[in-house]
Amino acid sequence: MPDAWKTIAQASLDQFIGCQEHPYNGWVYLSPPAILEAGERTGRYRRGTTTLLTDENGVSRIAAPDLAIAVIDELESPSKGQHFTVAEDAAS
């Protein structure tokens, strides 16, 4: 992991641990991919659970509009898990 990303990665992990330790059990935590960027909405994304999703070149990214779609999809049709991740669909 590049040094420039370590602070935010640790903050995200600390936040996730805080959710796990909280007495309220109705939370859901989204771990975004390594790269969140502006871009066109494709309406497609890959969804995972607790492991960073990457493409065949090891890149983990998603465009902001597709991340928003993933959040809305979770709100409309909640998954069974409390932790999920998303990334750009390889077909994008």
From first to last of its 92 residues, what are the pLDDT tens digits of the chain? 678 878 888 888 899 999 999 999 889 999 989 889 999 999 899 999 988 899 999 999 999 999 999 999 999 999 888 999 999 997 64
| 8 Å CB contact between 83 and 31 | yes
Q: Is-contact 60 33, C-beta < 8 A?
A: yes
| pLDDT at residue 85, as a whole number | 93
The DSSP code for 70 is: H
* CA 39/CA 24 separation, integer angstroms: 35
